[in-house]
Amino acid sequence: MTDKEEDLRQWRLPRGRHGLPRETVTRSQRERLLAAVVRVTAAKGYANTTVADVLNEAGVGRETFYELFDDKLACMLAAHKVLMDDLEARVSEAYGQPGPWERRVVAGLAAALEWFANDPAASRFVLLELGAIGPESMVRFRSHFARFVEMLDEGLEGDERDPDMPQASSLAVGATFARVYEEVVLDRAAELPSLLPVMTYELLVPFLGEEVARAEQRRVS
């Protein structure tokens, strides 16, 4: 396990007398709690999830939980941040590879679709359950949305910007989020990578026109 919290499910503290330093034990307990709140909340919904549910899933004591988090909401928000930071990092890495802008956009889109497909429970958690926490959910959504819009804008050349569509990047990211959200709601997150061709076309056509968008769609089909 690296220092980066990339996967909330991969690492578990060995049972029994392990002789691990306190820092390592605390980190393991925290990650187990984060993984547990994702699984339980995705299955039961935020309103129906209790701290006891999370503790039972994680195998961590109540005292330890409250040493690490103020309450269920704090645990959920911490897990949400880890997951969204990981999604952004994977998309950014794919988008940051050398090549034409449209190829980089498709690579970033493919990385995002794979991320959501690889863990449907995490997908429900980050897209559906956040809305149950109240006003904080909108603040967080806008922040994440802005980060992806900035990423898309960063690589745009002047001749790819349509002066008649000054908000093209926002519209494109919004449409992509809406499509992913719909598939997750319908429990079809695992099928998202199969939508790469059609979503490639939908994402690129406002910027590059029909011919280029269709060409990229055919390339990834």
**CATH number, domain containing residue 119:** 1.10.357
Q: How many helices and strands in the chain, by DSSP H and E?
A: 9, 0
Query: Does 122 map to a domain?
Result: yes
Q: What's the rounded Cα separation, in Å, for the pair 220 and 197?
A: 6
Query: Does 159 map to a domain?
Result: yes
Percent of the chain whose predicted confidence (pLDDT) is above 70: 84
Q: What's the rounded Cα separation, in Å, for the pair 68 and 63?
A: 9
Res. 100: pLDDT tops 70: yes
Residue scoring higher pLDDT (6 or 102): 102
pLDDT tens, position by position, 23-59:
666 888 999 999 999 999 999 999 999 999 999 999 9
Q: How many domains does one find in the chain?
A: 1
Query: Does 62 map to a domain?
Result: no
Question: pLDDT value at position 49?
Answer: 96
Percent of the chain whose predicted confidence (pLDDT) is above 90: 67
Res. 64: pLDDT tops 70: yes
Do 154 and 87 touch, CB atoms closer than 8 A? no
pLDDT (average), residues 169-180 = 92
Query: Does 63 map to a domain?
Result: no
Q: What's the rounded Cα separation, in Å, for the pair 50 and 41?
A: 9
Q: What's the rounded Cα separation, in Å, for the pair 99 and 48?
A: 47
Query: Does 149 map to a domain?
Result: yes
Q: What's the rounded Cα separation, in Å, for the pair 209 and 204?
A: 7
Amino acid type, 215 = A
Do 41 and 128 touch, CB atoms closer than 8 A? no
Q: What's the rounded Cα separation, in Å, for the pair 31 and 25?
A: 10
Query: Does 20 map to a domain?
Result: no
Query: Does 65 map to a domain?
Result: no
For 193, the enclosing helix (H) or strand (E) is none
Domain that holds residue 137: 77-220
Query: Does 210 map to a domain?
Result: yes
CB atoms within 10 A of CB 20: 13
Place of tokens 């498709």: 106
Do 66 and 52 touch, CB atoms closer than 8 A? no
Taking CB atoms within 8 Å and a gap of at least 24, the contacts of 142-147 are: 144/84, 144/88, 145/170, 145/173, 145/174, 145/177, 147/88
Backbone angles phi, psi at 17, to 5 degrees: -80, 105
Question: pLDDT value at position 151?
Answer: 87
- Residue from 9, 61, 4, 2 nearest 31 by CA: 9
CB atoms within 10 A of CB 106: 24
